[in-house]
Structure 1
């Protein structure tokens, strides 16, 4: 079922959550990424691809609206790309983070409330990515991380996988949780982990001290009280 943003959600074949985004409209005369993390994604693509002509073909296809619905799941994005009279299945693969990596990320994030606030605002500020890197967790792709696979049987990034990657940059601009899903954590699961770990980090609330007076004072005050009335 599609929501008002053109997105559907569900369970993938391997039991992990999958998000599917409807085909985006053509993007004539505009860039593909305005956010710095979206631009980092494209930089990883453009510095990896060996054929600049294929990147140019990918931009042309993406701008023309030739990329169909984009499926995002841990470790992989997929779309059908229409190229002239033929349609090709394009995949871009990026190894997801391990469970240990995610534990380190969550431990790091709960140390600074600004990190969680940024994610809730659909932002991925540089200090969040830098702190994650210091914890040994790479949130953004580097050279060679984005591996292509296409039914056109190209051995490197072709115009179809490039078009998918350019379209992915537009999705990342809208929601960095799309990137985190590809890294292995659905949004709800990640937010739940942050909430639980944050509660443990803050520790149990301390009980307020009970009001009263020291026993010695109570006994001393007893001598000043008037005698009890006669029965």
Structure 2
């Protein structure tokens, strides 16, 4: 945690105007639309940081952040404040070790649901629970887990420059969900390449015409990988005409999972589709109040 001394933020003037800064896409209301960006901001806002986050949100929308770079374990930003020289900001969160990523990649590749969603460029909500079960939460559980540094003279942590960085980072998560995983130690290219490799290896079969006894003297090829379950089921079928086996036609050739993946939509999806209501019935403020109410009901 940063402990640089200095005065209060009120001792300094308004921030200098910036041309070409990184401006938050959201001009009002909440920042972050995806479950992963909102989850990240909900963690930060739950730490009761108060008006520092409000001022940081204003900085993000005013374009005071000059640059934002995300690397494994660290986010660096340059933020223009009230002084001529911009401030250097850094937010560090330890990346997951290589052995943990190897374990998670094997688990993700073993489940078609996760592989398909990730290869399609999406992060399923169930991913958070999968990492948590492995003892590696995707999001910080306490503000002390983040190493926050800013070169400004404000002693508060986070200061408004750090808070502005948090909000733009959340929007970076919206633009590319793999930014979150990159911060935790695995880039999009490396993760997807590894998933494809593991999936391809699991779908293959061993070389050579290896066979096993099908149970009634019939030789059945010894298949491994996803096709193994189907081979075992087919080996149990009696050598009889099709008409005599119709009662088994609808039975699955491989065991079904105990709990199939659930696809859930955000509780405020309809609100985002309908757009902003007329000022006569509440305008944008009504949307924000309804969104918060739906989120509470969804929990």
Q: Deviations over 1:28-57 (max 9, x none)?
A: 224310111101111222233x64121111
Report the equivalent of 1:7: none
Paired residue secondary structure (1:69): strand
Q: Which has the higher contact order (CA 8 A, sep 6+)?
A: 1
How many Å separate the matches in 2 of 1:53 and 1:139?
A: 26
Q: Does 1:178 align with 2:179?
A: yes
Structure 2 CA distance for partners of 1:25 and 1:57, relative to 1, 3 Å:
closer
The alignment's TM-score, normalised by the length of structure 2, stands at 0.57
What count of residue pairs does the alignment treat as equivalent? 187
Q: Which residue of 2 aligns with 1:35?
A: 34
Contact 2:24–2:168 (CA under 8 A) maintained in structure 1: no
**Rg: which structure is higher?**
1
CA distance in 1, matches of 2:121, 2:197: 20
Equivalence for 2:22: 23
Q: Which has the higher strand share?
A: 1
Moved segments of 4+, more than 3 Å: 24-27, 205-209
List aligned pairs for 1:65-76, cutoff 5 A: 65-76=63-74
Q: 1:127, CA displacement in angstroms?
A: 1.4
- Name the counterpart of 2:223: none
Q: Secondary structure at the match of 1:190?
A: helix
Deviations 1:4-63 (A, max 9, x none): xxxxxxxxxxxxxxxxxx824564224310111101111222233x64121111011011
**TM-score, structure 1 as length reference:** 0.73
Match of 2:146 in 1: 146
Q: Which residue of 1 aligns with 2:296?
A: none
Q: Which moved more, 1:125-134 or 1:69-78?
A: 125-134
Pair 169,201 (structure 1): closer, same or farther in 2 beyond 3 Å: same
Contact 2:67/2:79 (<8 A) preserved: no
- Specify every segment of 5 or more residues in structure 2 that has no aligned partner in the other structure, as ranges: 1-20, 211-299
2:62 maps to what in 1?
Answer: 64
Q: Give the Cα–Cα distance (whole angstroms) in 2 for the partners of residues 73 and 65 of structure 1.
A: 22
1:45 and 2:39 equivalent?
Answer: no
- Counterparts of 1:27 and 1:196, CA distance in 2: 38
For residues 64 and 126 of structure 1, what CA distance do their matches in structure 2 show? 31
CA distance in 2, matches of 1:106, 1:136: 15
8 Å CA contact 1:90–1:151 kept in 2: the answer is: yes
2:79 equivalent among 51, 71, 81: 81
The answer as to whether partners of 2:128 and 2:137 remain within 8 angstroms in 1 is: yes
CA RMSD of aligned residues (A): 2.2
